[in-house]
Chains A and B, each alone.
Chain A
């Protein structure tokens, strides 16, 4: 297994997902474009959120793309690292809080 499952050139094939569902692809693109426009949040803030989600979701394409976008919006690596810590804290917290389910389940069967 020397070949990578995620190939950089595959990103250029993203639009092929619209081949069998062109209307849905068109709507996705329009919506995606609108989402990242400046609104109540700045484009720089939205890019930081996107980077945090990308790392949490571990999407290599999104990590590469939004790392560059964050830099192009004027963020620095200190801010980007903090954003990733936020994602990491939520992932960690979300894991840990499921410990309550474990405790509930254990309590139900333990003497």
Chain B
């Protein structure tokens, strides 16, 4: 969780500075943001799981950062007042555990064309924990984006905890039964694949085909699309890399796979991340590292309360060594490959 340790730990490695690669190989340094089209809202790091790859180090003990209703209202106002923002992307922790989750979703669908919720799925079929949450989200056509590291129990539980795969499959069956992930329903259930260790991801189309075939054959469950996301060398995954002596080889692998073509579609250029305290960041990863968005000619932090789309448009994006995670191979973002 020590973001400074992560930044300095990555910088200390004998790996060419990311910014130099941007400058020399892409010609896009400093990286510039355009007007945000997606507002990614972090409701807090509280989660019922403690996944080993989690870049925000979420868990049941993370009650330190929870978004207030007042900050949520500022998010809604920012979206309502800025035509460029079409999507609200709700994340956490487990956002459905936030006491104001349903209120926020109900209000978000009124101001945004698209609302998506990033979920670990384990609570979607848990009536005791989350009541009728599936039906609630379905009625509002909310898109679900669910982390599932692999189509087998062994890999998934190793990464996310004993019993998680079974709970996720039960939730997927339930969500399928109310239309999620089913053709023609208009209810999207997308999955996210993260490599189950210190290696890069396969091609999105190839692993999506594997997931579809195997989840249908083994579990009888359906989904719409699968997004591939490279494990970012921060948070709990950074700790794993250090403890297992994989940090240097992993960073070498990412740096050697640097793909200039991936830069154009990087999510930080069109997505703005709102921390639970309302501070704005260029992406979810910078949020974890405490690298706040830079406002031109300003010494104050950019916050959702003082949101100004025009000021943020064209700002310099803060980049550092962890950015190799988004530019390796086919590129990586919260919506999968960037090329």
Contact = CB atoms under 8 A, between A and B. Distances in A.
A76 B152 contact: yes
A73 B231 CA distance: 15
Interface in B143-165: 150, 152, 154-155
A17 B199 CA distance: 28
Interface in A33-81: 42-44, 68, 71-74, 76-78
B218 to A, nearest CB: 12
Interface stretch (B57-65, B202-210, B237-245, B297-305): B202-210
B142 interface: no
Contact of B206 (A43, A68, A78): A43
A96 B150 CA distance: 39
B202 A73 contact: yes
B206 A72 contact: no
Contacts, number: 29
A44 B213 CA distance: 15
A5 B141 CA distance: 62
B197 interface: yes
A72 B150 contact: no
A42 B206 contact: yes
A44 B202 contact: yes
Contact of B195 (A43, A44, A71, A78): A71
B152 A72 contact: no
B248 to A, nearest CB: 13
A31 B155 CA distance: 34
B206 A71 contact: no
A73 B205 CA distance: 11
A71 B197 contact: yes
Interface string A69-111: 0011110111000000000000000000000000000000000
What band does the interface of chain A fall in when counting residues whose beta carbon is under 8 Å from B? 10 to 19
A76 B201 contact: no
Contacts of A76: 150, 152, 154-155
Nearest to B193: A74
A43 B203 CA distance: 10
A73 B195 CA distance: 10
B200 interface: yes
B206 A74 contact: yes
Contact of A74 (B154, B197, B210): B210
A93 B317 CA distance: 60
Contacts of A74: 202, 206-207, 210
Contacts of B155: 76
Contacts of B200: 72
A42 B206 CA distance: 9
Contacts of A44: 202, 206, 210
Nearest to B257: A72
Contacts of B152: 76, 78
A72 B203 CA distance: 9
Nearest to B207: A74
B320 to A, nearest CB: 24
Contacts of B207: 74
B199 A71 contact: yes
Interface in B132-190: 150, 152, 154-155
B25 to A, nearest CB: 21
Contacts of B150: 76
Nearest to B150: A76
Closest 8 CB pairs of A and B: A74-B202, A74-B207, A71-B199, A72-B200, A72-B199, A73-B202, A68-B199, A74-B210
Interface of A: 42-44, 68, 71-74, 76-78
19 contacts: A42-B206, A43-B206, A44-B202, A71-B195, A71-B197, A72-B195, A72-B199, A72-B200, A72-B201, A72-B202, A73-B206, A74-B202, A74-B206, A74-B207, A76-B150, A76-B152, A76-B154, A77-B154, A78-B152
Given A71-B199, A74-B206, 14 more contacts: A43-B203, A44-B202, A68-B199, A71-B197, A72-B195, A72-B200, A72-B201, A72-B202, A73-B202, A73-B206, A74-B202, A76-B154, A76-B155, A78-B152
Interface of B: 150, 152, 154-155, 195-197, 199-203, 206-207, 210
